[in-house]
Amino acid sequence: MRTVGSRPTVASTQSPLRGRVEIIQELSGFLSGVRGGGGGVTVLTGASGVGLSRLLVEAQGLAAGRGIRVAHGFPAGPDVDGNLIDPYRRLHAWRQWLTAAARRDPLLITIDDLPRLDPLGLAGLRAFPIDLAELPIRWLVATTLGRHRRDVTAALDSLAKTPGVRQISVPALTAEAVDEIVRDLEMPSAIPVAAQAGGAPALLLPLLTGLREGAPAHVGTGLPDTVHAAVHRLIATVPTAAHRLFVEASVILEPFTVAELADVLQRDPVSVIGAAADLLGCGVWVESGDTIRFAQEITRRVVASELSLERFRHLSRRRVDVKLTRGASPIDVADQLFDVADMGDAAALGILQAAAVATSCAGDAIRWSRRALDLTPVASADWVARHADAVRLLWLSGEREAALELADSGGVRGCRALQSIATLLAIESSFTDAIEVVDAIALSAEHDPARRFDLIAARMEAFAALTGSMSGVRPAPPRQPAVDDAVAGVYRTMRESVESVQALRWSAAVELAGTAIGLADTRSAAESHAVAETRPAALHRALLLGAIGQIDDATADLDRALRVPLGASPRLADAVRARLAYLAGDLSRARTHADRVLASNRTGQYANLADMVALVTAGDCVVRARDVAAAARIRQLATGMAARETGPVRATAIWLLARLAAADGDTAAAAEYAWQVFRPGPGVEWPYWDPAELPMLVRLANAVGDDELARFAVGTAMSLARRSPELRFLTAIATHAQGLAQGDPVLLLEASRLLEAHPRALVRANVIEDLADVTVDDDSACDLLRDSLHMMEMAGASADAARVSRRLRERGAVRTRLRHEVLHRRRTLTPAEERVVAMVAAGASNRETAAMLFLSPNTVASHLRRAFRKLGVRSRVELTRALASGDE
C-alpha cells in the first residue's frame, strides 16, 4: 500500500518497550473498540527524542495483530502526479478512499510528527476525524512539544475539540526503565553514562549501540560518534537563534535563570527570552521553578564540545564571575575555575586559594591550593604565600612527607612554608620537632634569619603557655620581634588571656580571647579567606565561656572554629565538644567525645591540650557516673602523668587523682592532692579549671576538718566574683562556697536563686543538695533533694543520684526515729538547758540567747554541748530538726 510522505507499515518486530507499559495499555484500549463502530482520536505529545515514532510503530503492530488495516499518513488519490491535482479534488479523493476502506475493515491512520504535514494534510486532519466520526477509523497523531506554525496549532486545536479525543503525554524514560534497557543488553558498566541520556530513547539507543559495537569515540567528549549524530538530529529543527543560545549555554553545568544566562553571554535578557522559550518548548531544556537545565546531559556535552576552546574558556570564566556576584562562595566555583583559570589570573587564583582554606574536604583543599600555586608565576609576590598555604594544607591533611618535600622545593623562598609547619607543630605541642623546623628556617632564611627565628619562637612560646605542655624541649624566651607579626599577635593575646584566668580575672580572660579572635579575623579579611589561627582562638574562648555556664555562646565559638577548615587539630575541637557537653549536663555525649579523643592518641603521652581537656572531662564523667573500670584506667594514666610531667600537665593529673580519691571516700588523700593543685601564690596552673570546683573543695575541707583549705577555697571564689562582678555564675559560686563553709541556709538559698534555670544543671543540683542538708524541715529538705535527684538523673550522673537517693532515705529515717524518741530524750534536759535549746531552736544565736537569759556566751555554749549529747544530735540544725519533729 502506498503512503503519503512515509513508508509502508508492517507489524512491529522490535524488542519490547521498557518504561512504556501504561501507554501501550492505553493505546491497546484505544484500538480495541474500533470494531464496534465509530471513530476516535489519540494525540501523543512529548519532547524531541522521547520515542514517539517508536510508539506509533508499536501501535501499528497492535492494530495489525487485531486485523485492523493500517495507513501511515494519508493514502494517495487516483492521480500519480500530486502537483497537478486540485487541492479540493485531492481532499475529496481522500474522503472517498477512507470511506470505502473503513466500510471493508476497521482502519488506523498514524501521523508521525504533525508539524511536517503540508497545509493540505493539516486541512484534512482538521476535517476528517469529525466528518467521518461514524466510521471505524482511529486516528493516532504524534507531535513534539514546542512553538508551531499557525496552521499546525489550528490542527491541534481542532483535534482537541473532537468528541472523545485522548491526549497522552509521553515523558522521558524513568531511571529504572533505562537500567532495564542497559541490563537487557548486558551492559551494566554503561549505566552511569546511560543516565546522562535523560531518558530520551533517541539518544539512549545510539549510545548503547555505539558502545556495544565499538563505534569510534569523539575526541571532545569520548562518546561514540553515533551519539553526536543523534544529538544533531534531535536539535536539527531548533531555530537558528535558539540553536546558538543552546550551544553557548552548554558551559553552564547547573540549573540557571534566563537573567544569569544573559549575564554570562553579556546580552540583554529580552533578547534571550524568545530563544529560551523555543528550547523549552521543544523539550531540550526543562524548567523547574525559576531555573532552567538541559534535559539531557549528553546533549550538553556534545554541543559544548563544538565550542572553540577559547570561547569555552571565556564563557566558563564569565560564568564564575556571574555566580560570585550573585552570592556564590569560592567553594561553589573552584572546580569550574580549576580548568579554565589562566596563568597569572590574580582574581581566579585568589578564589582557588580561598576555596582551599574554606573547604572541609582535605582532598579538595590540596587540589585547589596546588592548582593556585601552579598558576602563580614564581617571580610573583603572591607565590611565597601560596606556597606556604599549600604546604600547610598538606601537613594538616596528614601528608607530612609531601609537605616537607614541597617546602624544600621552594629553596630560600620556602621559609614561610617552614614557618607554617613550625607553627602547626607548636599547636600540636610537638615542640622538639618544631624547634628542628625552626633551625631549618634559620639555616635557609634568605634575609635576617635571627628575626625569623624570633617570630616562630614567639608563636611557639605563646601557644606553649596556652596548652601547658611542659614536656619536650621548649625554646628560650624570645626577643621582641623587629616587625609585628599578625600570627604571633594572636597567640600573645591568647597567652595574656590564659594568664588572666590564672590571676582570677575571668571577664578579662574572655575579653582577651575575643581580641585574639578579632586579630585572626582581621588577618582573614586582609588575606581574603579564613586563617588557621581563628580556630584555636575560638576554641580557647569556648572553654572559658563554657566554664561559666554560657553554653550557647561557647557552642557558637565551637561552631565558628569548625567552620575554619584544617585550622588546627580536629582532636582539640572534639575535646572541646566533649567539655561543653559535660558542662551542659550531657554526660553520655561528653564521655563519647572524650573517649574518642583519648583513643586516637597513638603516642601514649597525654601532654597536649586536646588530651588534657579530654582526660579531665572523662574523669569528671566517670566520677559522677561511678564507672569503676574507667576510673581505674584514668587513675593509672593520671598517676603516670603526675610522676613524669611538670606544670599544668602535672596539675591536671593531680586534680584527677583528688577527684577519684574523693569519689572512693578517701577524703584525706583527696585533700592532700587538692593542696598541690589549688595553692596560694602563683595561682592555678591548669588554665581551664572549673570555678564550680571551689565549692567541692569546701565540701572536701569540711569532711576532713581542714579550715585552711576551706578558707582558701572561699577566698578564691570571692576573689573571682569580685574581679568579674558582671558574671552572675561566679557570684553564685562564691555564695555557694561561703554557705557551705558556714552552714548558712540563707547563703545557700541565695546561691540556688542565682543559678535558677542556669545551663549548668549539675552545679545547681549540687547547690540544692547542700541546701537540703541545712534545711530543718524534713518535708522541705526532701522536696529539695528530689529536685536535685531529678537533675542528676537527667544528666546521667548515676553516682550523684545514688548519693542523693541515700540521703532522701536517711531523711525519712531520721524523721521517724525523732518522732518516737524526742519526747523521752527531752525530759533529761535540765531547766537551764531546756531554756537554752528552746531559744536556739527558735533561731537565736548564742549571743542573742545569752543576752535574753542573762547568761554569758560560754555558759550558753556549755548548755548546748550537754543538750547535744542528751538529745543525740550533732549540730544546731539537727537540734532544731529534732525539736520540730518532737513537737508534732
pLDDT tens figures, 600-648: 876 676 767 778 889 999 999 999 988 888 889 999 888 888 876 666 7
Confidence of residue 466 (pLDDT cuts 50, 70, 90): very low
Confidence of residue 578 (pLDDT cuts 50, 70, 90): very high
Mean pLDDT over residues 35-49, rounded? 84
Confidence of residue 764 (pLDDT cuts 50, 70, 90): very high
Per-residue model confidence (pLDDT) at position 390 = 84
Number of helices and strands in the chain (H, E): 43, 7
Segment (H or E) for 89: helix 87-104
Mean pLDDT over residues 144-158, rounded? 82
Convert the pLDDT of each residue in 394-405 to its tens digit.
876 778 778 878
Residue 140 pLDDT > 90, yes or no? yes
CB atoms under 10 Å from CB of 852, counted, come to: 13
Report how far residue 716's alpha carbon sits from residue 710's, in angstroms, rounded to the nearest whole number.
Answer: 10
Per-residue model confidence (pLDDT) at position 362 = 78
Which has the higher per-residue pLDDT, 657 or 453? 657
CB atoms under 10 Å from CB of 359, counted, come to: 22
Convert the pLDDT of each residue in 489-524 to its tens digit.
776 787 788 888 888 899 999 999 899 888 877 765
Mean pLDDT value across the chain: 80
- Three-state DSSP class for 107? strand
Q: Which residue has the cell 584525706?
A: 668
Residue 93 pLDDT > 60, yes or no? yes
Question: What is the DSSP secondary structure assignment for residue 564, as one 8-state letter?
Answer: S
Mean pLDDT over residues 426-445, rounded? 52
Convert the pLDDT of each residue in 582-597 to its tens digit.
999 999 999 999 999 8
Phi-psi region of 186 (alpha: psi -120 to 50; beta: other; left: phi over 0): left
Contact 734, 721 (CB under 8 A): yes
Least Cα distance to 355 among 335, 375, 326 occurs for: 335
Per-residue model confidence (pLDDT) at position 277 = 87
Confidence of residue 765 (pLDDT cuts 50, 70, 90): very high
Residue 482 pLDDT > 50, yes or no? no
Mean pLDDT over residues 838-851, rounded? 85
Convert the pLDDT of each residue in 713-735 to its tens digit.
999 999 999 999 999 999 999 99
Q: What angle do CA 526, 532, 534 make, to 5 degrees?
A: 75
Per-residue model confidence (pLDDT) at position 564 = 64
Written as nine digits, the cell of 779 is 518535708
Segment (H or E) for 808: helix 798-826
Weakest-pLDDT range from 15-24, 356-365, 466-475, 832-841: 466-475
Mean pLDDT over residues 825-837, rounded? 85
- Three-state DSSP class for 433? helix
Written as nine digits, the cell of 131 is 466528518
Per-residue model confidence (pLDDT) at position 85 = 59
Confidence of residue 788 (pLDDT cuts 50, 70, 90): very high
Least Cα distance to 617 among 648, 641, 583, 642 occurs for: 583
Confidence of residue 434 (pLDDT cuts 50, 70, 90): low
Confidence of residue 824 (pLDDT cuts 50, 70, 90): low
Convert the pLDDT of each residue in 664-718 to its tens digit.
889 899 988 888 876 655 445 555 678 999 999 999 988 888 888 889 999 999 9
CB atoms under 10 Å from CB of 880, counted, come to: 18
Contact 427, 568 (CB under 8 A): yes
Q: Which residue has the cell 524526742?
A: 822
Highest mean pLDDT among 42-46, 476-480, 645-649: 42-46
Contact 558, 587 (CB under 8 A): no
Phi-psi region of 273 (alpha: psi -120 to 50; beta: other; left: phi over 0): alpha
CB atoms under 10 Å from CB of 293, counted, come to: 18
Per-residue model confidence (pLDDT) at position 727 = 95
Per-residue model confidence (pLDDT) at position 580 = 94
Weakest-pLDDT range from 270-279, 330-339, 382-391, 519-528: 519-528
